[in-house]
Homo-oligomer: A and B are copies of this chain.
């Protein structure tokens, strides 16, 4: 079950600064480089550990140039060519497209799977099974996504509306994707859940490298040409990269391909979480070190809680005392303190925006 899948390459786009996790997550130390769940390893390292059984050493991490050294330090088992440094941010399509072009030069039949560096998956067995089904379908020319079983009417994710079962051998659970839909409001999300037709879109794609580039060429032929030029002559990366359009893979490929009936979905119950904000992180906190209801993300010995619930992280060595607070979020770091509530933790990015306006780049 855990031997690598022949011809399967794992691509890990490692980007995003995780502003909703400020002050834990910073520009210089974004979410994927951090152990925000207290698991003992960073999200990037956990992503590598999850994919290594499927891809072996056929792995590419695409990250910003300023983070490539940190990525190499966290993943010393990767070869030098396995870490691709983007000269400037261009969103997910150029990053994944370049990885596909690089893989294509080594194995024209290769299947690539793209998985964010900063998500959590608790059911690794279910993940591996879903990827194996997805690879089977990808070999037939499908663009395959993974449809996460929703655990609630989340409004922070896009959804996948599922169509008919494909009945493909080796991919018994796979269905046609009727459409990708944007992040819904709460009422719509509830309707999606009640219908049973919708799954969360975690942005995971499994597809032959050549298929991906072929689909991309239908909307962005110039981008495909440039990506293949770079793959053929990697020393030209810095020269050719800046001209690429910044666009997400969802808009550039997945949505048009779904409209054309070329996308399949493998449903899976993964225990997936994008750990996008402190409310999300809270469920990974350890409340055995504190009273019930207080999730401790770290520094539990430095926390005194009197009748308080929520999420706390004591990361500055100072004592953190909480008195009579409900659903509070207190994140204490050596140079910055955040106090908010679970309800408002999406608004944390407003602090980051305010600090940027004030020129406090030391705190970003």
Residues of B within 8 A of A336 (CB): 318-321
Contact (Cβ within 8 A) B319 A354? no
Contact (Cβ within 8 A) B344 A337? no
Classify chain A's interface size: 35 or more
Residues 301-352 (chain A) with a chain B CB within 8 angstroms: 304, 306-307, 316, 318-325, 328, 330, 332-341, 343-345, 347-348, 350-351
Interchain CA distance A336-B302 in the complex, whole Å: 9
Residues of B within 8 A of A316 (CB): 318
Interface membership of chain A positions 120-158, coded 1 if the CB is closer than 8 angstroms to chain B and 0 otherwise: 000000000000000000000000000000000000000
Tallying the copies of this chain within the complex gives 2
Contact (Cβ within 8 A) A324 B340? yes
Contact (Cβ within 8 A) B304 A355? yes
Residues of B within 8 A of A345 (CB): 323
CB distance from A316 to the nearest CB of B (A): 8
Contact (Cβ within 8 A) A323 B306? no
Contact (Cβ within 8 A) A324 B344? yes
Interchain CA distance A334-B319 in the complex, whole Å: 9
Residues of B within 8 A of A347 (CB): 306-307, 323-324
Residues of B within 8 A of A306 (CB): 347, 350-351, 354
Closest B residue by C-beta to A334: B318
Closest B residue by C-beta to A319: B336
Interchain CA distance A321-B22 in the complex, whole Å: 10
Interchain CA distance A306-B318 in the complex, whole Å: 24
Contact (Cβ within 8 A) A337 B319? yes
Residues of B within 8 A of A338 (CB): 321, 323
Residues 87-101 (chain A) with a chain B CB within 8 angstroms: none
A360 CB within 8 Å of chain B: yes
CB distance from A64 to the nearest CB of B (A): 24
Interchain CA distance A307-B348 in the complex, whole Å: 11
Q: A337-B337, A339-B330 are in contact. Are A323 and B304 (CB under 8 A)?
A: no
Interface membership of chain A positions 1-22, coded 1 if the CB is closer than 8 angstroms to chain B and 0 otherwise: 0000000000000000000001
CB distance from A331 to the nearest CB of B (A): 9
Interchain CA distance A348-B307 in the complex, whole Å: 11
CB distance from A311 to the nearest CB of B (A): 12
A298 CB within 8 Å of chain B: no
Interchain CA distance A344-B307 in the complex, whole Å: 10
Contact (Cβ within 8 A) A344 B323? yes
Contact (Cβ within 8 A) A322 B335? no
Choose among B319, B343, B348 the residue that contacts A363 (Cβ–Cβ < 8 A): B319
12 A-B residue pairs with CB within 8 Å: A22-B321, A306-B351, A318-B333, A318-B335, A319-B336, A319-B360, A321-B337, A321-B351, A323-B340, A325-B341, A328-B339, A332-B337
Seen from chain A, the residues whose Cβ lies within 8 Å of a Cβ on chain B are 22-23, 304, 306-307, 316, 318-325, 328, 330, 332-341, 343-345, 347-348, 350-351, 354-355, 360, 363
